[in-house]
A and B are shown apart, each in its own frame.
Chain A
Amino acid sequence: MKPLTFMLRSEPEERLDLSGLTPDKLAGMPVAEIAGLKIGLSRRPATVGDVFKITGTDASNIVFAGGSGRFDLVGAEMGTGRIRVEGDVGARPGRRMAGGTLVIEGKAGLQAGSGMKNGRIEINGDAGEGIGGPMAGEIHGMTGGLIIVRGKAGHRPGERMRRGIIALLKGCGDYAGLGMIAGTIVATGRVGRYPGHLMKRGSLLFDRRPADLSLTFMDCGRVDIAFPALFDRYLMEEKILDRPLLGAKPYRFGGDNAVLGKGEIMFPKG
């Protein structure tokens, strides 16, 4: 069966809420019914048929042929299957995602993987602020799953995350892992100000010493523990990195001592 494909007719005139176009929600739905779904966010909302030409039938494998910064909530709450976007997306792709795979070939807006529980998100371009973070009023960020950003990431990736892995392959902005409760953030490239600020537990793994580390992180020196080798192997097996990140005996800083102080920042060079 051919993938269920949504071909973008032209740049949409309004923001679109695409949370309804997931494998779970479209399974068994006739094309005519899909075309009538309202997705616009203005007073006179557009329908799927207004914005996309629909081809294919396999709802477990969805393709958006053409992207836009106005595509919000792509793959939100999906629990199974695969979605691929051939272009950019807007805010909160993979919001509260519970399973499956979401691949974005272009850029993503803010809060990719916000509140994510499980599954895998791959973003080939840059990503906005708050990757895996909570929305206003929420206590926790992502609680599971894997997010890979192959471009640059914005500020506050992994804010208040409880579990899961975020890999940022061209660095990120300020406050990586802000208020982190647990989980792991991997970053190669430049990392902004105060990574791990207010983190209670969890691991921030970098390929270099952060330029501006919070004063409430304590230098623990070089550590000889099994975790770096195990995690390096995982990163290479998952094809996230093609060489070890930390190597043997990386440097470790413990913190944030302003809070619980059981988190860690590790990097291979002094």
Chain B
Amino acid sequence: MVAWIGSRTVPLPAAIEHVAKLLAKSRCPVFSLDSDVHGCRSLIALAERVGATYDHVNGRDLAHEVALHTDIGGFFATATEVRRRADVIVIVGDIPAAHHDLLLSLAATKPDLSRAAGRRWFRINGKGGPALEGELRRRAKVVEVGAPDLPIDAVLGILRASLGGRRTPAALTDIDALLGALGKASFPVFVFSRPTDPASLAMLQGMLIDINRKQRASALFLPSDDDAWGMVLASTWMTGFPPRTGFSTGSPVYDPWLCDIDRMIAAKEADLYLWVSERDEARPPRRGGLPTIALVRSDRPFSGAAVTVRIGKAGLDHDGVVYSSRIGTLRAATATAPSDLPSVAAIAGELQHALQSEDMASC
């Protein structure tokens, strides 16, 4: 069983036909996506076809990460460049556990394109910040810089003022060691993830601008979700914009507020919701009264959905392409347990075909 209309089991073509009718009829469809690069590409193409607005399923967190690039901009390096060049690594705040392997691999290597014989490690932390993982702290001999009673944005501000030789009213622990290391470094790199607030990120990137006036320095941005970042890249190369983007006027319009799916649904602007996630047990949020189409990994229909389609997962049921922050680009994800479950890209392709029939029928 792979498709249901309401709670009734139907053949997949019948479900596709029903979804195509709903999409063709909708005045303001919205898509929430979470798929591999092939799936995202096909759904963005579908959004363009039906004039929909799209965002990632976890759009709120992703919007902060995207804003770093669209609103602030900055210096960014890849993990490979950091591995070969960085002689000082400064971890800023908390790094998700998914990236700890990458940090440990950096701690196990020495920069071969640097004059320095090894790397020095620091970590900037503020009030309430979790302690660094024990193995990384031990292997990399990380020096903690900060103040236990100040939030991290204040710590970054004091550090930046100190780097610029301007007065500050408070001192940070081990700041002299960090300033000394940055002054001697050939290529210091600040590693950060999980953006806390835009002002902290602006402060960090501003500090990099200050340092780059005299020497080279950069930042390694580790997305909190690699798959979501893959969608950002796919969206950007297809439309010129990251998510949150909409096609309601025919052309892509990037607007993080106007195209915020949660806002559009709460304000009753959307009249059809397509929710797609390849993650196990992920379910769309209940949206009372809004017709919902759910493409999910489930062997049961989603309660309240107009249509539910069971989908396969890239890298498990079928081959796929995903983003890897470890190599800083896309990588192939080969199916580990191939199955007949349809991929998101295959369903989107079927929908494009069915919509052609809808268009011809309406002529």
Q: Which residues of A line the B interface, CB within 8 A?
A: 14-15, 41-45, 69-70, 72, 91, 110, 134-137, 175, 178-179, 194, 197-198, 214-216, 218, 256-259, 261
Q: Could you tell me if A216 and B161 are in contact, using CB atoms closer than 8 angstroms?
A: yes
Interface string of B116-155 (1 = CB under 8 A from A): 0000000000000000000000000000000000100110
In the assembled complex, the Cα of A63 lies from the Cα of B254 at a distance in Å of: 30
Cross-chain contact A215 with B169 (CB below 8 angstroms) = yes
- B-chain residues with CB within 8 Å of residue A198 when the two chains form the complex: 199, 202-203, 206
* Residues A42 and B28 in contact, CB atoms below 8 Å apart: yes
Once the chains bind, are A43 and B258 in contact (CB under 8 Å)? no
B255 at the binding interface (Cβ < 8 Å): yes
CA distance A270 to B256 in the complex (A): 40
Number of A-B contacts (CB under 8 A): 88
Alpha-carbon distance between A248 and B269 when the two chains are bound, in angstroms: 52
Q: How would residues 19 to 33 of chain B score, 1 for a CB under 8 Å from any chain A CB and 0 otherwise?
A: 000000011100000
* A197 with B28, Cβ < 8 A, contacts A15-B258, A110-B257, A256-B157 known: no
Measured CB to CB, the nearest residue on chain A to B255 is A136
Having A15-B258, A42-B27, A258-B158, one finds 20 other A-B pairs with CB under 8 Å, namely A41-B248, A42-B28, A43-B51, A136-B71, A137-B70, A137-B71, A178-B199, A194-B199, A214-B154, A215-B169, A215-B170, A216-B154, A216-B168, A218-B167, A257-B167, A257-B168, A258-B156, A259-B206, A261-B161, A261-B166
Residue of B nearest to A219 (CB): B169
Answer whether A179 and B167 are a contact pair too, CB < 8 Å, given A136-B70, A136-B254.
Answer: no
Q: Is the CB of A136 within 8 A of B256?
A: yes
- Sampled A-B contacts (23; CB under 8 Å): A14-B28, A15-B258, A42-B28, A43-B26, A43-B51, A45-B249, A72-B258, A91-B257, A134-B71, A136-B70, A137-B254, A197-B157, A215-B169, A216-B154, A216-B161, A216-B168, A218-B167, A218-B169, A257-B161, A258-B156, A259-B160, A259-B206, A261-B161
Query: Would B166 and A215 count as touching, CB distance under 8 A?
Result: no
Q: How far is the CA of A136 from the CA of B73 in the complex (A)?
A: 11
**B67 sits at the interface (CB 8 A):** yes
Cβ contacts under 8 Å, A197 to chain B: 153, 157, 199
A135 to B158, CA, bound (A): 28
> In the complex, A261 Cα to B254 Cα: how many Å?
34
Chain A residue, CB-CB nearest to B52? A43
CB pair B67–A216 under 8 Å, yes or no, is no
Are B27 and A14 in touch, CB under 8 angstroms? yes
B158 touching A43, Cβ below 8 Å: no
Which of B154, B206, B258 is the one whose CB lies under 8 Å from A91? B258
- B70 near A258 with CB under 8 A, answer no
Minimum CB–CB distance from A210 to chain B (whole Å) comes to 14
Complex: how many Å from CA A91 to CA B156?
32
How many chain B residues sit at the interface, stated as a range, is 35 or more
Which chain B residues (246-304) contact chain A, with CB distance < 8 Å? 248-249, 254-258, 267, 269
Query: Shortest beta-carbon distance, A263 to chain B, in Å?
Result: 13
Contact (Cβ within 8 A) B160 A258: yes
B residues adjacent to A (C-beta < 8 A) = 26-28, 50-51, 67, 70-71, 150, 153-154, 156-158, 160-161, 164, 166-170, 199, 202-203, 206, 248-249, 254-258, 267, 269
Q: Which residues of A contact B158 (CB under 8 A)?
A: 215-216, 258
Among residues of B, the one whose C-beta sits closest to the C-beta of A129 is: B257
- Which 4 A-B residue pairings sit nearest by Cβ, starting from the closest? A43-B51, A258-B157, A257-B166, A258-B160
A43 touching B67, Cβ below 8 Å:
no
* Contact pick for B157, options A91, A137, A214, CB 8 Å: A214
Find chain B residues with CB under 8 A from A256 CB. 157
Whole-angstrom CA separation of A44 from B269 in the bound complex: 13
Which of B156, B157, B164, B167 has the most chain A CB atoms closer than 10 A to its own CB? Answer: B157
Contacts of B206 in A (CB 8 A): 198, 258-259
Given A43-B28, A198-B206, A257-B167, A15-B269 contact (CB < 8 Å)? yes
Q: B249 to chain A: which residues have CB within 8 Å?
A: 41, 45
Output the least CB separation between B251 and chain A (Å). Answer: 12
* Interchain CA distance A178-B248 in the complex, whole Å: 32
User: Which B residues lie within 8 Å of A70 (CB)?
Assistant: 269
Please tell me if the beta carbons of B28 and A215 are within 8 angstroms of each other in the complex: no
Q: What is the bound-complex CA distance between A44 and B257, given in angstroms?
A: 21
Report which of B51, B150, B255, B269 forms a contact with A215, defined as CB distance below 8 A.
B150
In the bound complex, residues from chain B placing their C-beta under 8 Å from that of A258 are 156-158, 160-161, 164, 166, 203, 206
Shortest A261–chain B CB gap in Å is 6
Q: Please name the residue on chain A nearest to B71 by beta carbon.
A: A136
Q: Inside 8 A of B248's CB, which chain A residues have their CB?
A: 41-43
Query: Cβ of B156: which chain A residues have Cβ within 8 Å of it?
Result: 258
- Closest chain-B Cβ to A221's Cβ sits at a distance in Å of 14
Q: Which residues of B contact A136 (CB under 8 A)?
A: 67, 70-71, 254-256
Are A215 and B71 in contact, CB atoms less than 8 angstroms apart? no
Whether A216 contacts B157 by the Cβ 8 Å rule is yes
Is there contact, CB below 8 Å, between B168 and A215? yes
- A257–B160 CA distance with the chains assembled, in angstroms: 8
Per the bound structure, the CA–CA distance linking A215 and B160 in Å amounts to: 12
CA distance A175 to B199 in the complex (A): 8
Name the B residues within 8 Å of A175 (CB-CB).
199
The distance from the CB of A127 to the nearest CB of chain B, in whole angstroms, is: 14
Shortest Cβ distance from B20 into chain A, in angstroms?
Answer: 15
**Nearest CB of B to A140, in Å:** 12
CB distance from A211 to the nearest CB of B (A): 15
Residues of B within 8 A of A14 (CB): 27-28, 269
Is B150 within 8 A of A44, CB to CB?
no
| Assembled-state Cα–Cα distance A232/B137 (Å) | 56
